[in-house]
Structure 1
């Protein structure tokens, strides 16, 4: 298909809509910003328009029950004629849509796609990112089970990378979905006789429904907070958008009383417990900081962000959760390390941390929490999880 992508896209049939859940407005405050490097003129107007929007009108969350469709790539859904259903376009590029379209047409012609009776779509562009799954896809599965009465329907997730698939599976299990009802799918087309698609909960960096927070509160209600601590959420093992001199920054933060937490090495429940217990959180923009969705209202959060990042995702989470949010825009240095222009190291002089973070509060020492977050301490709390 070489023509305009719009020629491929159709809206779901009106008869396929099974629910329209109203959502209240959200009210956000302009972020507390510190700029160690200027925000580029090319993105400043866009960021200002988002930061300055104090009222975010609520949008209906729509649910569709589609029949005889194909799921391809990270969550594109095509009808039997090979047309793309508009709610599933999400953030896919034109090339990804064309690739999915070609694969679906080939599968239709050969009759080669594996068939499933039914499923709830919990895979979408960005499904290979922990943060996207927790905020954008886990709530879909929860909503289908709790609001639409589809408790016995399988949930379809993306099967790569393995680490994200494992934590996504664990999160769904905490939400009450048994392992046998969690179906990982790859990029190749799969045929669904019935598929439920939920749309309108999020639009990355543009809209975040309050229903998402209701979902996450409900899913994690049985996980008790870990010991109180000031957390440094590291980017390890990733180096993208990390401090250029991370070891020196980490040492300075430890000297200020912060406990390191490497989210990638924790289970889903352990991450939830740690951030529920946090007094404050500091870290570089990235998936680990998505866990601030589990922080208590009023928790102080400081996010070090590349100056050129056209991104307000963490500010939106903080406002929805009513956290005390600070964003420090930093100079970017070195080569681009990921797909986005701002996927570079960030330059923060360790000696500047005291000035940037202010005087550390005087707090009594807490046994068992020196240096790093103690996994035994977390696991002892999780052993007392209700139910």
Structure 2
């Protein structure tokens, strides 16, 4: 049986913030003709929006609720708060619902929910991606802690692989959050007496509030730039979405004065230090390019992008940060090496190889 969707009630809202409106410009897209029409149409409406109006961001406080999977929240009757559905498939929702109902039945009257104090939900779809953490989950922690500092919050975060776990822990610590106040959870249902949920901060693919920049700005403050003005961001160790003959491309980048970096192999302060002073950044679209949020306004960003990848995430970051943003759409080659159909090798023409490094 599918869960009944319900909405956060006005009575549950304990804080409402105004997310400012902002202007947006259509991105500079090279080789746009390579983008399949269905993929282009999925992005076109956002790219073509000249102004995103102001909107509210709400913090709601819920009692006696369950959290399952990647941040799905159910009430005591097994109804699902629709605001916590973030790119979850119907199958994932059904699995979470069944797991919650089973946990409720098993718990019965013998166990009580977590009564350790209010917990802020910092889990959503995409928990294993550094970019989603940095721009969609961490900002919730920064925002609520800064506006409601006296609540004595704990923070519910996802259980993730070691390298991402280190980045998450480092970012929380840099915000002044005691890591003993974090609750690390997998997909298993968890029962909470007091849970805070942030609504309206982001809609992946469709909206990103200027308020998300507060988290990145707080991280940047305590880190000094290493002085690298030009960066070439590689994905050599990722195994997917790499440029054909990338070693030659990296050598060309170095010859043009670029520092070749693979952010995923660095700790978070090192990544921030690299991007903080960069005036020109070239790289393959992926989580590591989220670090452009640490770059100064006006920095030039060139994102090498699979032709069939539907993505507005980095365009939103560039728009909010005031970056000069270009996408170079690349033909895809060879087998799928990752999870998605755009996780293939990329072909960059000789003409594109020259112009991405041109001043």
Question: What range is the shorter-chain TM-score in?
Answer: over 0.9
1:207 aligns with 2:203: no
Return the offset for 1:221: 1.6
Tell whether the 8 Å contact from 2:19 to 2:55 is kept in structure 1 after alignment.
yes
Q: Secondary structure at the match of 2:244?
A: coil
Cα separation, 2, equivalents of 1:58 and 1:340 = 33
2:240 maps to which residue? 240
The 1:36–1:143 alpha-carbon spacing in structure 2 relative to 1, beyond 3 Å, is closer
Cα separation, 1, equivalents of 2:266 and 2:191 = 35
Q: TM-score, normalised by structure 1?
A: 0.87
1:345 aligns with 2:345: yes
1:365 maps to which residue? none
Return the offset for 1:58: 2.0
Return the offset for 1:218: 2.7
Return the offset for 1:351: 6.5
2:55 maps to which residue? 59
The 1:285–1:113 alpha-carbon spacing in structure 2 relative to 1, beyond 3 Å, is farther
2:272 maps to which residue? 272
Return the offset for 1:267: 1.2
Structure 2 spans left out of the alignment, 5+ residues: none
**Residue 41 of structure 2 is aligned with which of 41, 45, 57?**
45
2:100 maps to which residue? 104
Cα separation, 2, equivalents of 1:185 and 1:355 = 46
* CA root-mean-square deviation: 1.8
Aligned residues: 355
Cα separation, 2, equivalents of 1:15 and 1:260 = 52
Q: List aligned pairs for 1:82-97, cutoff 5 A.
A: 82-97=78-93
Q: List aligned pairs for 1:252-263, cutoff 5 A.
A: 252-263=252-263
1:161 maps to which residue? 161
1:286 maps to which residue? 286
Tell whether the 8 Å contact from 1:113 to 1:190 is kept in structure 2 after alignment.
no
2:229 maps to which residue? 229
Q: After superposition, what is the alpha-carbon deviation per residue over 1:51-101, rounded to whole angstroms, capped at 9, x for unaligned?
A: 121101122001110011111111111111111111111111111111111
The 1:336–1:313 alpha-carbon spacing in structure 2 relative to 1, beyond 3 Å, is same
Structure 1 spans left out of the alignment, 5+ residues: 361-387
Cα separation, 2, equivalents of 1:164 and 1:135 = 14
Tell whether the 8 Å contact from 1:201 to 1:209 is kept in structure 2 after alignment.
yes
Tell whether the 8 Å contact from 2:61 to 2:196 is kept in structure 1 after alignment.
yes
Q: After superposition, what is the alpha-carbon deviation per residue over 1:341-360, rounded to whole angstroms, capped at 9, x for unaligned?
A: 222211114574113432x5
Between stretches 123-132 and 51-60, larger displacement belongs to 51-60
Cα separation, 2, equivalents of 1:150 and 1:198 = 17
The 1:25–1:214 alpha-carbon spacing in structure 2 relative to 1, beyond 3 Å, is same
Tell whether the 8 Å contact from 1:167 to 1:267 is kept in structure 2 after alignment.
yes
